[in-house]
Structure 1
Amino acid sequence: MALPVLEPDMSEAELDRIVEKAETASAFLKAISHEGRLMILCHLVTGEKSVTELEELLSARQAAVSQQLSRLRLEGLVVPRREGKAIYYRLADDRPRKMLETVYDLFCRDED
């Protein structure tokens, strides 16, 4: 997929579409820019987890985990499911997985 090229003769509608996509991308990047939210997404890549499981995996307090999950939910990156008193979260779609793969490629792979 090629990046859009901004041309001087682009229509206002084309520019508006690019700006709208940039705003969406910016909101997504802001949502994942916190270490705690990024780690939550890393754990959810392997499947649905309860808030309690995430607390244990992250060694974090419930309030902190819930705050980060709230932001991820607000941005549409995770989906909650209630079962009795427990709340479980899963990835809303494949965007976080693709982003994590890219981050891994950029920052975690050993150089050849």
Structure 2
Amino acid sequence: MNIVELNKSAEKASDFLKSLANPNRLRILCLIMEGERPVGDLAEAIGINQSATSQHLALMRREGLVKSRRDGQTIYYQLADKNVGKTLRLLSDLFCPPTR
């Protein structure tokens, strides 16, 4: 890999990790890793208001981590990229010991 490609890859990886570097965003991603969820359900599940949840989701949408669809008044979110799911599974394996 040449230095230009390395720099681009490092920048992309850094941006990806910055997007994950928030406990609330990680909780949101873990929930939608299980399947599509509406904003209100996500907010209630992680214990923050819907406005803050929407701000986190907007950032993650801009970064390409999640995608949304509208059904009437409700907006549903899901993972936008299989690599996000792979990363979350790895983090879970490393930091979430199995329950007995």
Q: Which runs of structure 1 show a deviation greater than 4 angstroms over 4 or more consecutive aligned residues?
A: none
- Are residue 63 (structure 1) and residue 86 (structure 2) matched? no
Higher helix share: 2
Q: Distance in 1 between matches of 2:10 and 2:75?
A: 32
SS in 2 for 1:109: coil
Q: 2:73 corresponds to which residue?
A: 85
Q: 2:22 corresponds to which residue?
A: 34
* Higher alpha-carbon Rg: 1
Deviation at 1:33, TM superposition (A): 0.3
Computed over aligned residues only, the root mean square deviation of the Cα atoms, in angstroms, reads 1.3
Deviation at 1:60, TM superposition (A): 1.2
Q: 2:35 corresponds to which residue?
A: 47
* Paired positions, count: 98
Q: Distance in 2 between matches of 1:54 and 1:92?
A: 16
Q: Distance in 1 between matches of 2:96 and 2:50?
A: 28
- Identity of matched residues, %: 43
Q: Distance in 1 between matches of 2:35 and 2:51?
A: 22
